[in-house]
Amino acid sequence: MPDEASTPTAAHELAEAVAGLAATLRFHRDLGVKDLPLEGRYLLEPDDALRAQEAALQGCRRCKLCEGRATIVFGAGNPRADLLVIGEGPGADEDAQGLPFVGRAGQLLTRMLAARGVGFTRDEVYVTNAVKCRPPGNRNPEAEELATCAPFLAAQLRAIQPKVVLALGSVATQALLRTREPIGKLRGRVHPFGAAVLIPTFHPAFLLRNPGDEYKRMAWDDLKLARREYDSRRAR
Ligand code: URA
């Protein structure tokens, strides 16, 4: 068993990787190489990366949601957004228009984002869904459908690199946090999420079905929490 001194740490591994990179660059310099080919897809700007991802998704038939959809609803908004909003999956209006959150729930989302003490416009955030194709009859996406679409959401996250993720409703929140805890327990707090934080709140469609002040107030608290996290993480 390796003792503590010989156990590789993240710092050791990084130092070794950098030393290896330096050795490779010296080797190529000594061979006479003068330019680094830096046009690889890994260096795309966020807008180009998202455009390439959306183009690559066209015609997707990886899960059965492809059978009932009219369009693949990839996402919309600012590719450099520090706030990424993630819903469940497109509804009928979104499927028809090819854009996320444009129906009644979408209109409520726009108002929630713009609420007093929150103050986001749709243009400054990026909005997408856990699955990109409309589940028939607006049923919840199945685990297999969520898993099939997860790499595409992960690629969007890598391109956008948001500081705060706002997860709408239990389906998106549970899929992103890989938990079965109910939304009522998950909301109201900040969850670590890679280099970002994730803040769950109620789905606007749920708020439309449950129009009492109680849920509305909780959602408002969540959005104000998202605003505070957004401001403090942008100030760092
Ligand atoms: N509900 C969602 O979860 N996403 C949409 O885009 C629209 C409604």
Q: What is the pLDDT of residue 10?
A: 67
Q: What is the pLDDT of residue 35?
A: 77
* Length of the chain, in residues: 236
Q: pLDDT tens across 208-233, in order?
A: 999 999 999 999 999 999 999 999 99
**All residues at 6 or more sequence positions from 203 whose CB lies less than 8 Å from its CB, including other chains:** 87, 88, 105, 168, 169, 170, 171, 172
Does the pLDDT of residue 41 top 70, yes or no? Answer: no
CA–centroid distance, 1 to ligand 1, in Å, is 51
> pLDDT grade, residue 8 (50/70/90)?
low
Does the pLDDT of residue 3 top 80, yes or no? Answer: no
Phi and psi, residue 135, nearest 5°: -70, 135
For the chain, the structural domain boundaries read 46-234
Q: pLDDT tens across 178-192, in order?
A: 999 999 999 999 999
Phi and psi, residue 3, nearest 5°: -80, 175
Q: Is 205 in the pocket of ligand 1 (CB under 6 A)?
A: yes
Pairing of strands 76-77, 126-129: antiparallel
Instruction: Supply the pTM of this predicted model.
Output: 0.85
DSSP reduced 3-state for 190: coil
* CATH architecture of the domain with range 46-234: 3-Layer(aba) Sandwich (3.40)
Task: For residue 203, give the ligand 1 atom closest to its CA.
Answer: 3
CA distance 160 to 186: 24
Pairing of strands 191-193, 126-129: unpaired
Q: Is 89 in the pocket of ligand 1 (CB under 6 A)?
A: yes
Q: Is 88 in the pocket of ligand 1 (CB under 6 A)?
A: yes
- The secondary structure element, H or E, covering residue 22 is helix 10-30
Q: Which two tokens stand for residue 98?
A: 């090819």
Measured from the Cβ of residue 6, the count of other Cβ atoms closer than 10 Å reads 8
CA–centroid distance, 189 to ligand 1, in Å, is 22
Q: Which two tokens stand for residue 199?
A: 């803040």
Task: For residue 100, give the ligand 1 atom closest to its CA.
Answer: 6
Q: What is the pLDDT of residue 111?
A: 98
Does the pLDDT of residue 127 top 90, yes or no? Answer: yes
Task: For residue 73, give the ligand 1 atom closest to its CA.
Answer: 6
